[in-house]
């Protein structure tokens, strides 16, 4: 464990998010390595932390004022033991190689848990779509694809969306790939419904997180009915987490964006949620407007440098972090436990810091780690690839039923692996162990490549 961290930190100094992700997995899988000496002998850990390939490129584009802008972009092709590289693209000013490597590393195990044939990858750019016109976003996407197209393909690497990359961006990216290759193919997922997309793909991550939370609660003979829930974010994952929670009879009292959050003691209704969807997806406005429209709700601006996030300091039973990494620290976790939270299901990737996770595990919180709880999105992306290959589209119920079945299986896989290695109900260990074993067994079968 220390050995691998020594290697990773020496080789890649200044990549704290990547170190954090590796350290969490390395800690969990120690008993697996002790039980299976052939893994150590074949240096699987040393191999799995090293991306198979990293592509870095310049993205020049011209803004609406006629000025040239230059962004930096990456694609991390992390691991192809189980299938073509698969993972989203993130457009956000914070994007750097450390963040994308952590996401690609996590993605490898997440994709393994889905049982679908997908390797792990992730990519993106420090481009900020916020405040840009549609034309600027299109020009950026076209310049981005002008390089990326030579590295991806339906049997090689199949990107999707993530923060800052939704239906609009996937459309522009797909259009330009098609033009360059003269090929209409399933090279991206999250496509529009009438040009190769899958029903339920936009909903899949959020719905899947709620299915996972329901499975965790069922182990204690409880349901989500009547439970008060804290949700962060107001993008794709937060919106559809909220929608499914409403369907299951829960009450959602918070939503946020990077400037602040709303607290609505009456709860977010379906009608209010429709307003949020329109606000965020069409008007591309700020969550503050929710409190301006609904007088029962208050808006709290977030200040930088705060030692905790007040969004996590309300009485509730469940928490669904759905914005970004490290949004729950140890103090936030203590506040959540103090306020009665018994279930945390991670919609965002790695939203809880390691000491925050310790607080949850030490207090008997049902903690669904991101690589298991939010695997619904990539699962339906996998189903989109299947439908593209078959050149047909399943109906809504068919996709949703498959999604539910996959989330149920992932939950059981994590539970069983945690039990087998002596840490019952520790879903984090279960997810890390089950994902790791599946990937490294395939790597061993395929030789030293």
Q: Which residues are catalytic?
A: 122
Q: Does 353 bind ligand NDP (CB under 6 A)?
A: no
324 binds ligand NDP, rule: CB under 6 A: yes
Q: How far apart are the C-alpha atoms of 96 and 386, rounded to whole Å?
A: 31
- In three-state secondary structure terms, 422 is coil
Q: Which of 164, 171, 196, 368 binds ligand NDP (CB under 6 A)?
A: 164
Per CB under 6 A, 163 contacts ligand NDP: yes
Among 84, 235, 369, 382, which residue interacts with ligand NDP (rule: CB under 6 A)?
Answer: 235
CB count within 10 Å of CB 271 equals: 8
Task: Measure the CA dihedral 259/265/271/277, to 10°.
Answer: 20
Beta strands in 132-245 (DSSP E): 157-160, 228-231
Q: How many residues does the chain have?
A: 449
Closest C-alpha among 140, 169, 165, 11 to residue 88: 165
Candidates 87, 123, 233, 382: give the one binding ligand NDP (CB under 6 A): 233
- Does residue 205 bind ligand NDP (CB under 6 A)? yes
- Contacting ligand NDP (CB under 6 A), which of 15, 228, 241, 349? 349
Told to check if 435 binds ligand NDP by CB under 6 A, we report: no
Tokens of 301: 């601006």
User: In angstroms, rounded to a whole number, what is the distance separating the alpha carbons of residues 8 and 87?
Assistant: 22
Q: Which residues pair with 436 in a beta bridge?
A: none
Point out which span in 176-184, 212-220, 252-260, 419-427 binds ligand NDP (CB under 6 A). 252-260
User: Closest distance between ligand NDP and the C-beta of residue 403, in Å?
Assistant: 12
| Binding residue count for ligand NDP, defined by CB under 6 A | 22
Name the one range near ligand NDP by CB under 6 A: 44-52, 74-82, 251-259, 329-337: 251-259
**Please, which residue, 258 or 423, has the CB nearer to ligand NDP?**
258
Q: Residue 128 — φ and ψ, nearest 5°? A: -110, 105
Q: Which is nearer to ligand NDP, 83 or 166 (CB)?
A: 166
Build a one-symbol-per-residue string for 258-297: x at contacts with ligand NDP by CB under 6 A, - elsewhere: xx--------------------------------------
DSSP letter for 194, please: G
Identify which of residues 121 and 235 has a Cβ nearer to ligand NDP in the complex. 235
Closest CA to 210 of 223, 219, 220, 200: 223
Residue among 322, 359, 358, 357 at smallest CA distance from 338: 359
What one-character-per-residue DSSP string does 218-274 give?
HTTT--STT-EEEE---SHHHHHHHHHHHHTT-EEEEEE-SSEEEE-TT---HHHHH
User: Which range binds ligand NDP by CB under 6 A, 170-178, 231-239, 242-250, 427-435?
Assistant: 231-239
Tell me the residue nearest to ligand NDP as measured from the CB.
Answer: 235
Give the nearest distance from C-beta 164 to ligand NDP in angstroms: 5
Query: Which is closer to ligand NDP, CB of 237 or CB of 433?
Result: 237
Residues that bind ligand NDP (CB under 6 A): 161-164, 166, 205, 233-237, 257-259, 322-324, 347-349, 374, 377
């Amino acid at each position: 464990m220390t050995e691998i961290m020594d290697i990773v930190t020496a080789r890649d100094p200044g990549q704290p998010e990547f170190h954090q992700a590796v350290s969490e997995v390395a800690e969990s899988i120690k008993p697996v390595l002790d039980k299976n000496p052939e893994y150590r002998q074949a240096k699987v850990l040393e191999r799995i932390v090293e991306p198979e390939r990293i592509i870095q490129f310049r993205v020049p584009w011209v803004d609406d004022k006629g000025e040239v802008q230059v962004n930096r972009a990456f694609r991390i092709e992390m691991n192809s033991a189980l299938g073509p590289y698969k993972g989203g693209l993130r457009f956000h000013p914070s994007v750097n190689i450390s963040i994308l490597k952590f996401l690609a590393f996590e993605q490898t195990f997440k994709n393994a848990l889905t049982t679908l044939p997908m390797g792990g990858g992730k990519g993106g750019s420090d481009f900020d779509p916020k405040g840009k016109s549609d034309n600027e976003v299109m020009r950026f996407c076209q310049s981005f694809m002008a390089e990326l197209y030579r590295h991806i393909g339906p049997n090689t690497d199949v990107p999707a969306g993530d923060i800052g990359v939704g239906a609009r961006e996937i459309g522009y990216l797909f259009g330009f790939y098609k033009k360059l290759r003269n090929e209409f193919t399933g090279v991206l997922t999250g496509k529009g419904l009438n040009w190769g997309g899958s029903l339920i793909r936009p909903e899949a991550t959020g719905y899947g997180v709620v299915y996972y939370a329901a499975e965790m609660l069922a182990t204690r003979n409880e349901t989500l009915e009547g439970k008060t829930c804290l949700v962060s974010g107001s993008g794709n994952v937060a919106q559809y987490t909220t929608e499914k929670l409403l369907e299951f009879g829960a009450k959602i009292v918070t939503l946020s964006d990077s400037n602040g959050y709303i607290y609505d003691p009456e709860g977010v209704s379906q009608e209010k949620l429709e307003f949020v969807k329109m606000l965020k997806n069409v008007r591309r406005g700020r969550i503050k407007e929710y409190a301006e429209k609904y007088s029962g709700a208050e808006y709290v601006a977030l200040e930088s440098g705060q030692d905790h996030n007040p969004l996590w300091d309300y009485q509730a039973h469940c928490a669904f972090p759905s914005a970004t990494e490290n949004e729950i620290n140890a103090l936030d976790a203590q506040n959540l436990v103090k306020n009665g939270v018994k279930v945390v299901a991670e919609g965002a990737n790695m939203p809880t810091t390691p000491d925050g996770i310790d607080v949850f595990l030490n207090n008997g919180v049902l903690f669904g780690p991101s690589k298991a709880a939010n695997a619904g999105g990539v699962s339906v992306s996998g189903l989109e690839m299947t439908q593209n290959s078959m050149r047909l589209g399943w109906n809504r119920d068919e996709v949703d039923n498959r999604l539910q079945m996959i989330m149920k299986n992932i939950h059981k896989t994590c539970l069983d692996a945690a039990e087998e290695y002596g840490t019952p109900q520790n879903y984090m260990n279960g997810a890390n162990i089950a994902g790791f074993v599946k990937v490294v067994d395939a790597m061993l079968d395929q030789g030293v490549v």
